[in-house]
Chain A
Amino acid sequence: MSVLSEKVITRDWERPNQNTLAGYKANGGYKAAMKALELPPAAITDEVKKSQLRGRGGAGFPTGLKWSFVPSLEKNPKPRYLAINADESEPGTAKDRFILEKDPHLLLEGIAIACYALGAHTCYIYSRGEFKYPSAVLDKAIAEATADGIFGKKLLGRDFELNVYQVRGAGAYICGEETALLESLEGKKGWPRLKPPFPAVVGLFGCPTVVNNVETIASLPRIFEKGAEWFSKLGFGKSGGTRLVTVSGAVNRPGTYEVAMDTSLRELIYDAAYGQGLPEGRTVKACIPGGSSAPVLTGDELDVKLEFDAFKPLQSMAGSGGVMVMDDTACMVRCLWRVSRFYAEESCGQCTPCREGQPWMARILRKIEEGRGERGDLDTLLGVAAAVAPWPPIGLGTTICALGDAGALPVQSFVTKFREDFEQHIRLRRCPKGDKPWGVFGDFK
């Protein structure tokens, strides 16, 4: 079994006053940034490349490489921005909020390093509108760091101005998509932009902008404290470091855990340190491994590592680390219907396949679950899904942004892998689970 040899993100969460500047500094806080800022900006980016840090927002894109897409000042003299994605709304995902609540200065220290490397003098942290408490903790941390002179005219005493602001969203999943996030930061509704151009070239206010997830940036202080090589070695394959994952649903001990990259889904679900298995007699029927957009896996596909490349052969993805477990008494149709309803609700409406297709899929699923399904419905369902984004492989979407794919992939993977469950509903003209579709923990007590 894999062991977590060293904690990266959660290391200090239990320390007293860790979420205040005094508590953070008492434990060596902001020393890593001081060290990083001794390097020329380009060398910082090189270190990040060496560390094999990859984006924790969903796509696992190499962070140093993303930074290197920002054009040089000679080529593009416009200001550059860093935007932190703290919108955390992918169903199943609950990790960034804990960084904000328990260790906000870890993120802020990462921001200092990233902005210096990128030559960005302004950073906006776009946080989820519903995060009242995490946002309050973060606001206080920003105010403390600014009052202390860490941010402001002289970043950590250097001749470099950096201002950091939090902007709170207002309830729209789509604003987690990076270009919708930028639109929202510009004060507009969250309609994603067609890419290219990518934000690194044309981003916020038309300027070069890097968008990174909270956990990604919160990893930077450790990289500069202990070295890029240390971070890279801690990981597995081409995924440096550790990662935060949230296991939810039918396990005995749901929660958010920091795991080694080579931890398997099975370990996460069954290990004493993590999910602690399912109640006596129950088995895993289905598992969504990386937020609800990730294609579902069966109980036989759990021996896969949680690092970013391991899911490719299974045509799924490690995504945002949201692992949702369904036991053998849960109804697959009902689960998928709930997922589909989400994408129908959250489509921004710009592209026809997504705007029309997501609600259409949700309607067919409802019909099947309510016992009104007909022969042919499953083919229609798969046809609609394929028109939005054929699968496999992942990434063939026909729409402006990947929300299209995100809604189509669950449908195709559930119906393909659990087809008999769907057909049974149509044959029986009812849900075999009756009024208990949610499995072993489905009752409200």
Chain B
Amino acid sequence: MKQGASTNRPAMSDPLFTPDEQKHFDAGIAELLSHYPVDRKSAAMLPALRLLQTLKGWLPPEGLKLVASRLETTVERCYEVATFYVMFHTKKPGKYVIDVCTNLACALRGAEGMLAYLEQKLATKAGENGEKYFLRETECLASCGTAPCLQVNEDHHESLTKAKVDALLEKLA
């Protein structure tokens, strides 16, 4: 038996998915697998993990087991990939993940000041994962000509000023 196959259905006491999510997940995986050669199911790893994270907000252990079984690979392989890429969360992140680019082009346009401003306004420290905010420094986001920039839960914001950051934060309830 393939490793993880027995976890195809999560324990009854703590179902991983709602019926709707389950449907979405199953259809998503089927579509993804159709993009690869039949003997290369595990190639769908990144998109499958993204699908899981879109549904759950992070990659819970039960979910990783499920991905492993659907992709006919091991849960260790899932963890290896999940921990290599910074966008995958193997720990539950705060409600708002705020990624601030502090690479050179942005730094030359005030990114460090922007990060300090966010730390002060959100009363958090960069790198600390809180319940509401997970503020992080990140690398160049291809907004060098429209610096500084940041992403809130992957939504991109560029050419930022104090006024724009204030307006943005107001929307984060």
Digitize A218-248: 1 where CB-to-B-CB distance is under 8 Å, 0 elsewhere: 0000000000000000000000000000111
Residues of A within 8 A of B111 (CB): 444
Q: State in angstroms the CA–CA spacing of A186 and B141 once bound together.
A: 24
Chain B residues near A185: list those with CB within 8 A: 43
Flag if B140 contacts A89 (CB, 8 Å): yes
Interface residues of B in 43-97 (CB under 8 A from A): 43-47, 49-50, 71, 73, 77, 80-81, 84-88
Whether a CB of chain B sits under 8 angstroms from the CB of A420 is no
Please provide the chain B residues from 89 to 119 with a CB less than 8 Å away from any CB of chain A in the complex.
99, 102-105, 107-114, 116-117
Residues of B within 8 Å of A205, CB to CB, are: 37, 40, 43
Pick from A92, A326, A330, A345: contact of B144, CB under 8 Å: A92
Assess whether A404 is interfacial by the CB under 8 Å rule.
no
The smallest C-beta distance from B84 to any residue of chain A, in angstroms, reads 4
Distance in angstroms between the alpha carbons of A132 and B54 in the assembled complex: 12
Do A249 and B108 have beta carbons less than 8 Å apart? yes
Identity of the chain B residue whose Cβ is nearest the Cβ of A250 in the assembled complex: B108
Q: Which of A153-177 contact B (CB under 8 A)?
A: 163, 165, 167-173
Which of the 9-residue segments B7-15, B19-27, B147-155 touches chain A?
B147-155
Which residues on the B side are within 8 Å of A102 (C-beta)? none
The answer to whether A187 and B145 touch (CB under 8 A), given A91-B105, A438-B112, is no
Q: What 1/0 mask marks residues of chain A from 353 to 389 whose CB sits below 8 Å from any chain B CB?
A: 0000000000000000000000000000000000000
- A97 contacts B by Cβ under 8 Å: yes
Cβ of B142 under 8 Å from chain A: yes
Contact of A170 among B40, B49, B156 (CB under 8 A): B49
Which residues of chain A come closer than 8 Å to B40, judged between CB atoms? 186-187, 205
Contacting A91 at CB < 8 Å: which of B35, B43, B81, B140?
B140
Count: A-B pairs, CB below 8 Å: 176
A443 at the interface (CB under 8 A from B): yes
CB distance from B131 to the nearest CB of A (A): 22
CB distance from A381 to the nearest CB of B (A): 18
A356 to chain B, nearest CB (A): 19
CB–CB B142/A89 < 8 A = yes
Whether a CB of chain B sits under 8 angstroms from the CB of A425 is no
A94 with B110, Cβ < 8 A, contacts A187-B46, A444-B117 known: no
CB contact under 8 A between A248 and B139, given known A132-B154, A342-B103:
no
User: Given contacts A130-B87, A170-B49, is CB(A442)–CB(B109) below 8 Å?
Assistant: yes
A171 in contact with B87 (CB, 8 Å): yes
Interface size in chain A (residues, C-beta < 8 A): 61
Answer whether residue A338 sits at the interface, using C-beta atoms and an 8 A cutoff: yes
Say if the beta carbon of A210 comes within 8 Å of chain B: no
- Please indicate which of the listed interface residues A88, A92, A163, A330 has the most CB atoms of chain B within 10 Å of its own CB: A92
Q: Which residue of A lies closest to B149 (CB)?
A: A94
Residues of B within 8 A of A338 (CB): 102-104, 107
On whether the beta carbons of A441 and B109 are closer than 8 Å, the reply is yes
By the criterion CB–CB under 8 Å, are A444 and B88 in contact? no
Tell me the bound Cα distance from A165 to B33 in angstroms.
12
Q: How far is the CB of A157 from chain B (nearest CB, A)?
A: 23
A441 with B110: in contact, given A169-B85, A346-B139 (CB under 8 Å)?
Answer: yes
Expressed in whole angstroms, the minimum distance between the Cβ of A179 and any Cβ of chain B is 15
**Complex partner residue of A445 from B43, B112, B161, CB under 8 angstroms:** B161
Residue A133 interfacial (CB < 8 Å): yes
The answer to whether A189 touches B110, judged by C-beta atoms less than 8 angstroms apart, is: no
Report whether A171 and B156 are in contact in the complex, using a CB–CB cutoff of 8 Å.
no
Further contacts, 6 of them, CB under 8 A, given A128-B142, A439-B108 = A130-B141, A187-B73, A205-B37, A339-B104, A438-B112, A441-B108
A–B complex contacts, Cβ < 8 Å, 21 sampled:
A89-B139, A90-B140, A91-B105, A91-B140, A92-B140, A97-B142, A130-B87, A130-B138, A132-B151, A167-B47, A171-B87, A171-B88, A185-B43, A186-B42, A187-B81, A188-B45, A249-B109, A335-B107, A342-B139, A438-B108, A438-B110
3 pairs of A and B residues whose beta carbons are closest in the complex: A444-B113, A187-B45, A170-B85
Residues of chain B whose beta carbon lies under 8 Å from any beta carbon of chain A = 35, 37, 40, 42-47, 49-50, 71, 73, 77, 80-81, 84-88, 99, 102-105, 107-114, 116-117, 138-148, 151, 154-156, 161-162
